[in-house]
Amino acid sequence: MPRRRPLVIGHRGAPGYRPEHTRSSYDLALALGVDAVEPDVVFTSDGVLVVRHENEIGSTTDVEGHPEFAERRTTKTIDGAELTGWFTEDFTWAELQTLRCRERLPKLRPASASFDGEQPPLRLVDVLDIVRQASLDQGREIGVVLEIKHATYFSLLGYDVAAVIAATLRSAGWADGSLPLFIEAFESTVLADVRAHGIRGTYIYLLEAAGKPYDLVAARGHTAPTYREQAAPAGLDALAGRVDGISVDKRMILDPDRLGRTAGPSRIVADAHARGLRVFTWTCRPENNFLIGQFRRGRDKAAFGAYEGEWQVIADAGVDGVFVDHPDLGLEFFR
């Protein structure tokens, strides 16, 4: 029996063509026909869920050009890593609205960068409303894959992360399962907390190819398991029943050798499916810069490589969902 087609998810909208997490990025992804879009959420100082890939916004907005915010540039430790820049939790939502978004990877995506400076950031509620309206306009169900960023970090700052997320989803009409909702995070603790608030959805645990989940590091120190250990059969046994699925770095499926060659998909998808877990993977991108060595063509990092070869390995693994930056290419290939 042929495998069913995976969900094609617009990763931050359509960031291969427009600056990520902007209105035009989401509008384009929805117009191209994605099954769902993926907003990442972080907090403002006044408790608003704003859609940004990270709480550091120096690389994705024009904040550096605002002299009134110059003194807010600072250095913080986020999930154990030191980072310097401007952070959403130091701004009110009203202040963030004065900023304009820009392309995060301008050298790789100059066409997208041509839209810099045109659009303000969005709130989670804005994206929820955009997707709901697109579902009505297009006469089909379109989902939201909500990624919760830095939950333990924000909790330590005093935010009730799960409660605010639950209240926002409920007030926007996304809490009862009437439209497809997936909730994901690199920290399983916050997934359990949101579920405890009665939010109906599919809960997906994100797994990095390296490192440890920060919530477990904060709770257990050096005894915290690695993501790799959680992706092994015994780790998946422990996750089954606690989450509905996992979302893995594509390298965990491709499993390239030191020369960047894959021998075919690893066992991780099959192992997870055997335990009743769905499997998503991130991120399917066509540029050489993001492909494993086997599928790169030429030295231009921005040029498209033989991405279909890499994506075929992922498709052969039988994944349930793929995150894409170029929705048209993702839909053409995976459908």
What is the spatial distance between Cα 157 and Cα 152, in angstroms, rounded to a whole number?
A: 9
Which pLDDT score, from 0 to 100, does residue 4 have?
A: 74
Name the nearest CA neighbour of 121 among 139, 98, 92. Answer: 98
Query: Does position 1 have pLDDT exceeding 60, yes or no?
Result: no
Encoding tokens for residue 142? Answer: 């379109």
User: What's the sign of the alpha-carbon dihedral 181, 34, 275, 311?
Assistant: negative
pLDDT > 70 in the chain, percent: 99
What is the spatial distance between Cα 302 and Cα 119, in angstroms, rounded to a whole number?
A: 24
For residue 312, name the pLDDT band (cuts at 50, 70, 90).
Answer: very high
What is the spatial distance between Cα 45 and Cα 280, in angstroms, rounded to a whole number?
A: 32
**Residues with Cβ < 8 Å from 99, sequence gap 6 or more?**
57, 61, 62, 63, 66, 120, 121
pTM, 2 dp: 0.97
Arithmetic mean of pLDDT, 29-36 = 98
> Domains (ranges, CATH) in the chain?
7-334 (3.20.20.190)
**Residues with Cβ < 8 Å from 129, sequence gap 6 or more?**
172
Encoding tokens for residue 148? Answer: 């919760």
